[in-house]
Protein backbone atom coordinates (compact mmCIF):
# COMPACT_ATOMS: atom_id res chain seq x y z
CA UNK A 1 0.00 0.00 0.00
CA UNK A 2 2.88 2.35 0.83
CA UNK A 3 4.33 1.82 -2.67
CA UNK A 4 1.03 2.63 -4.39
CA UNK A 5 0.58 5.75 -2.26
CA UNK A 6 4.09 6.88 -3.15
CA UNK A 7 3.41 6.28 -6.84
CA UNK A 8 0.17 8.26 -6.68
CA UNK A 9 1.95 11.21 -5.08
CA UNK A 10 4.75 10.95 -7.61
CA UNK A 11 2.39 10.85 -10.59
CA UNK A 12 0.59 13.95 -9.35
CA UNK A 13 3.87 15.83 -9.06
CA UNK A 14 5.17 14.61 -12.40
CA UNK A 15 1.99 15.53 -14.24
CA UNK A 16 2.38 19.06 -12.95
CA UNK A 17 6.07 19.30 -13.86
CA UNK A 18 5.80 17.68 -17.31
CA UNK A 19 2.84 19.78 -18.45
CA UNK A 20 2.85 23.46 -19.40
CA UNK A 21 3.10 25.62 -16.26
CA UNK A 22 0.19 27.88 -15.35
CA UNK A 23 0.63 31.56 -14.61
CA UNK A 24 1.90 32.03 -11.05
CA UNK A 25 0.77 34.95 -8.90
CA UNK A 26 3.16 36.43 -6.38
CA UNK A 27 0.93 36.22 -3.31
CA UNK A 28 2.42 34.63 -0.23
CA UNK A 29 0.39 31.44 -0.46
CA UNK A 30 1.52 30.71 -3.98
CA UNK A 31 5.16 31.42 -3.14
CA UNK A 32 4.97 29.14 -0.09
CA UNK A 33 3.45 26.36 -2.21
CA UNK A 34 6.21 26.82 -4.77
CA UNK A 35 8.85 26.52 -2.04
CA UNK A 36 7.25 23.32 -0.75
CA UNK A 37 7.19 21.88 -4.27
CA UNK A 38 10.80 22.86 -4.71
CA UNK A 39 11.75 20.94 -1.58
CA UNK A 40 10.06 17.83 -2.96
CA UNK A 41 11.98 18.17 -6.23
CA UNK A 42 15.31 18.63 -4.44
CA UNK A 43 14.63 15.68 -2.13
CA UNK A 44 13.81 13.55 -5.17
CA UNK A 45 17.09 14.50 -6.88
CA UNK A 46 19.13 13.79 -3.77
CA UNK A 47 17.41 10.44 -3.13
CA UNK A 48 17.91 8.93 -6.60
CA UNK A 49 20.35 6.04 -6.79
CA UNK A 50 21.46 3.65 -9.51
CA UNK A 51 19.55 0.44 -8.88
CA UNK A 52 21.07 -2.88 -9.95
CA UNK A 53 18.55 -5.32 -8.47
CA UNK A 54 14.88 -5.36 -9.48
CA UNK A 55 11.75 -7.19 -8.43
CA UNK A 56 10.52 -9.79 -10.85
CA UNK A 57 7.41 -8.07 -12.17
CA UNK A 58 6.78 -5.70 -15.08
CA UNK A 59 6.34 -1.96 -15.29
CA UNK A 60 3.02 -0.95 -16.89
CA UNK A 61 3.20 0.78 -20.24
CA UNK A 62 1.06 3.67 -19.00
CA UNK A 63 3.71 4.29 -16.36
CA UNK A 64 6.52 4.10 -18.90
CA UNK A 65 4.63 6.45 -21.22
CA UNK A 66 4.59 9.08 -18.49
CA UNK A 67 8.34 8.69 -18.03
CA UNK A 68 8.84 9.20 -21.76
CA UNK A 69 6.69 12.34 -21.79
CA UNK A 70 8.91 13.77 -19.08
CA UNK A 71 11.96 12.73 -21.06
CA UNK A 72 11.03 14.38 -24.34
CA UNK A 73 10.17 17.59 -22.49
CA UNK A 74 13.84 17.98 -21.55
CA UNK A 75 15.64 21.11 -22.77
CA UNK A 76 17.50 20.65 -26.06
CA UNK A 77 19.37 22.90 -28.45
CA UNK A 78 17.10 24.83 -30.83
CA UNK A 79 14.38 22.26 -30.06
CA UNK A 80 16.01 19.92 -32.58
CA UNK A 81 15.15 16.92 -30.37
CA UNK A 82 18.08 14.94 -31.84
CA UNK A 83 17.12 11.71 -30.12
CA UNK A 84 15.38 8.47 -30.95
CA UNK A 85 13.89 6.59 -28.00
CA UNK A 86 12.91 2.93 -28.06
CA UNK A 87 11.30 0.95 -25.25
CA UNK A 88 11.71 -2.81 -24.90
CA UNK A 89 9.69 -4.79 -22.36
CA UNK A 90 9.50 -7.94 -24.45
CA UNK A 91 11.23 -10.83 -22.61
CA UNK A 92 11.99 -12.50 -25.94
CA UNK A 93 14.15 -9.53 -27.01
CA UNK A 94 15.78 -9.07 -23.61
CA UNK A 95 16.52 -12.77 -23.14
CA UNK A 96 17.63 -13.20 -26.75
CA UNK A 97 20.26 -10.48 -26.73
CA UNK A 98 21.31 -11.61 -23.26
CA UNK A 99 22.10 -15.07 -24.64
CA UNK A 100 24.41 -13.41 -27.18
CA UNK A 101 26.00 -11.41 -24.37
CA UNK A 102 26.51 -14.53 -22.24
CA UNK A 103 28.38 -16.35 -25.01
CA UNK A 104 30.82 -13.47 -25.39
CA UNK A 105 31.06 -12.64 -21.67
CA UNK A 106 30.77 -16.01 -19.89
CA UNK A 107 32.56 -14.81 -16.76
CA UNK A 108 30.09 -11.97 -16.17
CA UNK A 109 27.14 -14.26 -16.90
CA UNK A 110 28.36 -16.85 -14.38
CA UNK A 111 27.21 -14.72 -11.45
CA UNK A 112 24.40 -16.62 -9.65
CA UNK A 113 22.19 -13.53 -9.64
CA UNK A 114 22.59 -12.83 -13.35
CA UNK A 115 19.33 -12.93 -15.32
CA UNK A 116 19.81 -10.41 -18.09
CA UNK A 117 22.40 -7.93 -19.31
CA UNK A 118 20.30 -4.96 -18.21
CA UNK A 119 20.81 -5.51 -14.48
CA UNK A 120 17.84 -7.92 -14.59
CA UNK A 121 15.39 -5.06 -15.24
CA UNK A 122 12.09 -5.94 -16.96
CA UNK A 123 12.00 -2.77 -19.06
CA UNK A 124 14.78 -1.08 -21.01
CA UNK A 125 14.66 2.40 -22.56
CA UNK A 126 17.18 2.81 -25.39
CA UNK A 127 18.36 6.30 -26.35
CA UNK A 128 20.08 7.02 -29.67
CA UNK A 129 21.47 10.33 -30.86
CA UNK A 130 21.86 12.10 -34.18
CA UNK A 131 25.65 12.59 -34.53
CA UNK A 132 25.14 15.41 -37.03
CA UNK A 133 23.76 17.58 -34.23
CA UNK A 134 26.65 19.01 -32.21
CA UNK A 135 24.62 19.13 -29.00
CA UNK A 136 22.91 15.76 -29.38
CA UNK A 137 24.82 13.93 -26.67
CA UNK A 138 24.09 16.72 -24.20
CA UNK A 139 20.44 16.80 -25.24
CA UNK A 140 20.11 13.03 -24.90
CA UNK A 141 21.72 13.19 -21.48
CA UNK A 142 19.16 15.75 -20.33
CA UNK A 143 16.38 13.54 -21.65
CA UNK A 144 17.70 10.57 -19.68
CA UNK A 145 18.01 12.54 -16.47
CA UNK A 146 14.38 13.65 -16.76
CA UNK A 147 13.32 10.02 -17.19
CA UNK A 148 15.33 8.80 -14.21
CA UNK A 149 14.14 11.55 -11.89
CA UNK A 150 10.53 10.96 -12.93
CA UNK A 151 11.02 7.25 -12.25
CA UNK A 152 12.39 8.03 -8.79
CA UNK A 153 9.33 10.12 -8.03
CA UNK A 154 7.08 7.20 -9.00
CA UNK A 155 8.79 4.63 -6.79
CA UNK A 156 10.73 3.05 -9.66
CA UNK A 157 14.43 2.29 -9.86
CA UNK A 158 16.71 3.03 -12.80
CA UNK A 159 20.28 2.48 -13.91
CA UNK A 160 21.91 4.23 -16.84
CA UNK A 161 23.90 1.67 -18.85
CA UNK A 162 26.51 2.61 -21.41
CA UNK A 163 28.20 -0.77 -21.84
CA UNK A 164 24.98 -2.65 -22.63
CA UNK A 165 24.14 -0.15 -25.36
CA UNK A 166 27.69 -0.29 -26.72
CA UNK A 167 27.46 -4.09 -26.90
CA UNK A 168 24.32 -3.94 -29.05
CA UNK A 169 25.72 -1.09 -31.14
CA UNK A 170 29.16 -2.57 -31.84
CA UNK A 171 29.16 -6.36 -31.50
CA UNK A 172 28.39 -8.05 -34.85
CA UNK A 173 26.63 -10.98 -33.15
CA UNK A 174 24.10 -8.54 -31.71
CA UNK A 175 23.36 -6.83 -35.05
CA UNK A 176 19.86 -8.30 -35.38
CA UNK A 177 18.89 -6.77 -32.05
CA UNK A 178 20.19 -3.39 -33.10
CA UNK A 179 18.16 -3.72 -36.28
CA UNK A 180 15.03 -4.54 -34.31
CA UNK A 181 15.27 -1.16 -32.59
CA UNK A 182 14.51 0.41 -35.97
CA UNK A 183 16.60 3.52 -35.39
CA UNK A 184 16.63 6.32 -37.98
CA UNK A 185 19.43 6.18 -40.53
CA UNK A 186 22.67 7.57 -39.16
CA UNK A 187 21.60 7.48 -35.51
CA UNK A 188 23.91 5.83 -32.96
CA UNK A 189 22.81 3.99 -29.83
CA UNK A 190 24.16 6.10 -26.99
CA UNK A 191 22.98 4.46 -23.77
CA UNK A 192 20.04 2.64 -22.27
CA UNK A 193 18.14 2.92 -19.00
CA UNK A 194 17.13 -0.12 -16.98
CA UNK A 195 13.72 0.46 -15.37
CA UNK A 196 11.90 -1.61 -12.77
CA UNK A 197 10.68 -1.83 -9.21
CA UNK A 198 13.77 -1.75 -7.00
CA UNK A 199 14.79 -4.74 -4.92
CA UNK A 200 17.54 -2.86 -3.09
CA UNK A 201 18.15 0.51 -1.45
CA UNK A 202 21.70 1.57 -2.28
CA UNK A 203 23.42 4.05 -0.02
CA UNK A 204 24.64 7.34 -1.41
CA UNK A 205 28.21 7.43 -2.65
CA UNK A 206 30.50 10.29 -1.65
CA UNK A 207 30.67 13.23 -4.04
CA UNK A 208 33.75 15.44 -4.45
CA UNK A 209 32.49 18.96 -3.74
CA UNK A 210 35.96 20.41 -4.41
CA UNK A 211 35.30 20.03 -8.15
CA UNK A 212 32.73 22.82 -7.92
CA UNK A 213 33.96 26.38 -7.53
CA UNK A 214 32.62 29.92 -7.67
CA UNK A 215 34.71 32.26 -9.83
CA UNK A 216 34.84 35.90 -8.70
Supply the pLDDT for residue 32. 67
Supply the pLDDT for residue 4. 43
What is the chain written as a DSSP string?
A: -HHHHHHHHHHHHHHHHHSPPPP---SHHHHHHHHHHHHHHHHHHHH--B---B-SSPPPHHHHHHHHHHHHTS--GGG---EEEEEE--HHHHHHHHHHHHHH-HHHHTSTT---TTTT-SEEEEEEE-TTSTTHHHHHHHHHHHHHHHHHHTT-EEEEESHHHHHHHH-GGGHHHHHHT-PPTT-EEEEEEEEE-BS--PPPPP--GGG-----
Supply the pLDDT for residue 37. 77
Supply the pLDDT for residue 38. 82
From 67, 111, 118, 51, select the one nearest 90 (Cα to Cα): 118
Range 2-17+50-196 has CATH code 1.10.3720.10: no
Per-residue pLDDT reduced to its tens digit, 144-198? 999 999 999 999 999 999 999 999 999 999 999 999 999 999 999 999 999 999 9
Domain ranges of the chain: 2-17+50-196
Q: Is 89 left (phi over 0), alpha (psi -120 to 50) or beta?
A: alpha
pTM for the predicted model, two decimal places: 0.85
Supply the pLDDT for residue 36. 81
Residues of the chain with pLDDT under 70: 1-29, 31-32, 34
Amino acid sequence: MKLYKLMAMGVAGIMASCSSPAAVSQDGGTVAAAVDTGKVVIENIMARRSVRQYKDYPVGRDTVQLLLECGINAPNGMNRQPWAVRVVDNPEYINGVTEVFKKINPKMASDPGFKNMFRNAPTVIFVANDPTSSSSQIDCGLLGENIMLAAQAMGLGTCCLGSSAAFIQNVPEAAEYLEKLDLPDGYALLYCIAVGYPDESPAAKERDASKVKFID
